[in-house]
Structure 1
Amino acid sequence: MSTTNTLNSSVTSLITEAISTASTYTEYREQMRNLVANNKSTGEIQSDALANYTMLNDKRMKRLDKTTKLPDATISKIKQVTAKVTWLVLTESWCGDAAQSMPVMQKFAEQSSNINVKVILRDENLELMNHFLYNNTLSIPRLIAFNEDTQEVIGDWGPRPSKLTKIVENFKAKNGSLTPEFKQELQVWYNKDKGNTIIEDLTQLLALK
């Protein structure tokens, strides 16, 4: 067996195992509400800052769960999906980018019985996460699109929408790291974009054959 085949087999095994123990989106949202009630976050490391991020993300997701609407053209494309696909999302409750994108992912799944969103925590699944690093970092969220019929990874996405990724990379190239002020600007960008770029990106992940 070649090294590539061995690697693919190893990754497939990790993914299928993760899917078997993953939470549904509804279960994950309930977990977040429980964390907020107890002033906690996911992960072994606990702090007031991480708990506060979790609280803010819960509020954002609650709002986006209610307000996110998919265009009719997007819904039409989702209805064409015939393969059974799991969108496995690696995340943590304190991740601001995940709070913006996961409600959109769930809206896709709600339009098709063939798309299933499952959620796992990054820090509990580092072996799998290490196969899907972004620029050699543990950046989240990371969505792995897995075809259940063929047992193949058909795509991945994250940690940010494509247009925003370019903005962030340009800022890092000039400044080295993201400043608190720039992180505020990211939230403004998300609010103005209204999920449109995420919708466009996720549409590219649809398995239409």
Structure 2
Amino acid sequence: MMKSLAITNEVLSKAFNYESYTKLIEDLFFENRTTNDDNSESQLNYTKLNIQRASRWEKRAKLNENLKEVVNKINNDQIWLVITEGWCGDAAQILPFINKISELNEKIELKLVLRDQHPEVMDEFLTDGSRSIPKVVVRNIENLDVLGSWGPRPKAVHEDYVKKRRDPDYDNKKAAEELHLWYARDKGKTIQAEFKEFLESLN
């Protein structure tokens, strides 16, 4: 366990809930803007796709009973702080599930912050030295301990994706397409299985 110097009360007070986060993305997109300063055509296209992806999972995502059982056993007040951005494809595939999971237990409060507005928070939870998102940070409200963090994507696909991205002969666009095809075919099963294991490891 660790204490976070970056996750201050001020940061938490400015964090979004899931509904306000999704509304922000949609409102900014309507103005041809993204959640950071890169309002290029490519980033806007990513954002448009992500709005569609998230909306689809918000309607279709179903949680399995084993995961529900683990979440319902949580008996201490927790904040699940997600570091994210609206243009992030992994976030659009994962966060609808995280939101639904958090809603299972009233002791869980889901909050979201934008990575590029809070680099000091992101830098406490790097993945192999990189600012990979989304990252879910679980914090005990009573003693402020950080119990653990999960992300930026299921391990089952993360290593393969990173390997492809580092290969100069492998097309990055193709790697991204294959990643999102995997999410579509998996239907959130691996996200739930790995997040269940993560939550069990916190006890």
Task: Decide which of 157, 162, 177 is 1:169's aligned counterpart.
Answer: 162
Query: Which deviates more, 61-70 or 13-22?
Result: 13-22
Task: Decide which of 76, 89, 110 is 2:103's aligned counterpart.
Answer: 110
Identity rate, percent: 32
User: 1:108·1:115 contact (CA, 8 Å) conserved in 2?
Assistant: no
- Residue 40 of structure 1 deviates from its aligned partner by 1.5
- Residue 206 of structure 1 deviates from its aligned partner by 2.6
Residue 47 (structure 2) aligns with: 54
Residue 3 (structure 1) aligns with: none
User: 2:54·2:93 contact (CA, 8 Å) conserved in 1?
Assistant: yes
Equivalent runs, 1:20-35 vs 2, <5 Å: 20-35=13-28
Query: Which letter maps to 2:36?
Result: G
Say if 1:80 and 1:117 are closer, same or farther in 2 by CA, change over 3 A. Answer: same
Q: Which secondary structure does the structure 2 equivalent of 1:185 belong to?
A: helix
Residue 63 (structure 1) aligns with: 56
* CA deviation string 1:79-105 (max 9, x = no partner): 111011111111111000000110010
Q: Distance in 1 between matches of 2:132 and 2:170?
A: 14
Say if 1:108 and 1:69 are closer, same or farther in 2 by CA, change over 3 A. Answer: same
- TM-score, normalising length: structure 1: 0.89
Q: Distance in 1 between matches of 2:95 and 2:21?
A: 10
Say if 1:180 and 1:13 are closer, same or farther in 2 by CA, change over 3 A. Answer: closer
Say if 1:69 and 1:164 are closer, same or farther in 2 by CA, change over 3 A. Answer: same
Q: Which secondary structure does the structure 1 equivalent of 2:137 belong to?
A: strand
Measured on the aligned residues, the alpha-carbon RMSD in Å equals 2.0
- Residue 33 of structure 1 deviates from its aligned partner by 1.5
Q: Structure 1 stretches of 5 or more lacking a match?
A: 1-7
Q: Distance in 2 between matches of 1:119 and 1:27?
A: 9
- TM-score, normalising length: structure 2: 0.91
Say if 1:91 and 1:177 are closer, same or farther in 2 by CA, change over 3 A. Answer: farther
Residue 197 in 1 paired to residue 190 in 2? yes
Residue 79 in 1 paired to residue 67 in 2? no
Q: Distance in 1 between matches of 2:9 and 2:170?
A: 35
Query: Which letter maps to 1:132?
Result: F
Residue 132 (structure 2) aligns with: 139
> How many matched pairs?
202
Q: Which secondary structure does the structure 1 equivalent of 2:164 belong to?
A: helix
Residue 123 in 1 paired to residue 119 in 2? no
Q: Distance in 2 between matches of 1:92 and 1:55?
A: 13
Query: Which letter maps to 2:140?
Result: N
User: 1:12·1:152 contact (CA, 8 Å) conserved in 2?
Assistant: no
